[in-house]
């Protein structure tokens, strides 16, 4: 489970990250990253729109993504913010594939080798 201190809750935070952050697309995910300027815990948010599927499907995708993000939140720099957006094909993606896609996208955004 994603710790409460790492959850993004305000729509203004989401908008700032999506508009001014850098992004990388891997598989059925787009990851937006906004570098931090403070020593606060990194914040992470999810966007799973109706194009992914019905309510049950969207919540399943959200749970899978949240679990994968919880394992990787420590890779983000302090004070940074990330938004993970699921694309329409995410409904048929496995948790393991989400993990692979997240690793690749974060490696590209953070400049670290895979």
Provide mean pLDDT across the span 76-99: 95
Which pLDDT does position 27 carry in this prediction?
A: 94
The domain limits of the chain are 11-109
Please determine, for residue 114, whether its predicted confidence score (pLDDT) is greater than 70. Answer: no
Provide mean pLDDT across the span 8-29: 95
Please determine, for residue 56, whether its predicted confidence score (pLDDT) is greater than 70. Answer: yes
Which pLDDT does position 36 carry in this prediction?
A: 79
CATH architecture of 11-109: 2-Layer Sandwich (3.30)
Neighbours of 96 (CB within 10 A): 10
Contact 45, 6 (CB under 8 A): no
Provide mean pLDDT across the span 11-23: 94
Length of the chain: 114
Please determine, for residue 52, whether its predicted confidence score (pLDDT) is greater than 80. Answer: yes
């Amino acid at each position: 489970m994603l710790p409460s201190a790492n959850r993004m809750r305000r729509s203004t935070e989401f908008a700032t990250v999506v508009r001014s952050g850098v992004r990388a697309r891997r598989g059925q995910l787009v990851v937006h990253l906004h570098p931090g300027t403070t020593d606060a815990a990194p914040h992470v948010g999810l966007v799973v729109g109706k194009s992914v599927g019905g309510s049950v499907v969207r919540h399943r995708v959200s749970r899978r993504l949240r679990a994968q993000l919880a394992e990787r939140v420590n890779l983000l720099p302090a004070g940074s913010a990330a938004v993970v957006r699921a694309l329409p094909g995410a409904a048929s993606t496995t948790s393991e594939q989400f993990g692979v896609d997240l690793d690749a996208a974060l490696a590209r955004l953070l400049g670290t080798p895979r």
